[in-house]
Amino acid sequence: MLNSLTLILVCQLAGELASVWLKLPVPGPVIGMVLLFVYLMVRGGISDSMTRTADGLLGHLSLLFVPAGVGVMLHFRLLEDNWLAVSAALIFSTIATIIVTALMMKWLSKASAS
């Protein structure tokens, strides 16, 4: 448990360093995810301890967004100015993105299967 958590932190730290030094347009944890993925490929499998640690972290991923979500209270003022434009854009653009991505993927997987 401890060694896999350490490995995750090492990947994150390496990702943060790479992101800052190489000025990559991707945040450190996402690069850390790639690094851990590469490690798993090289190792050729996932240890039980890593499975437990990852399941523990990801089992309640929603919880981890609550503190940032509460931060919305600081910025209600910013939303007041353009609230109609903002809410319309958020809702319709999000729905459009979901529809386009899903239909494109569905269509392309069908095309490649046949």
Partner 1 sequence: MNDLQGVWVYLSASPLLHLTMTMVAFQAASWVYNKAGKNPLLNPVLLSVIVVVCLLLITRTSYQTYFEGAQFVHFLLGPATVALAIPLYRQFDKVRRSALAILSSILAGSLTAILTALAIGKLLGASQATLVSLASKSVTAPVAMGISQQLGGLPSLTAVLVILTGIIGAMLGPLVLNLIGVKDWAVRGLAMGTASHGIGTARALHVSEVAGAFSGLAMGLNALATAILLPLIWRMFF
Question: Which positions from 6 through 45 interact with partner 1, judged by CB under 8 A?
Answer: 8-9, 11-12, 15, 25-30, 32-37, 40-41
Pick the binder of partner 1 from 21, 68, 80, 114 (CB under 8 A): 68
- Determine if 1 is a binding residue for partner 1 (CB under 8 A): no
Which listed residue (21, 48, 58, 80) binds partner 1 by CB under 8 A? 58
Residue 1 to residue 5: CA distance in whole angstroms: 6
Joined together, the tokens standing for residue 95 give: 């729905």
% helix / strand / coil in the chain, to the nearest 5? 90, 0, 10
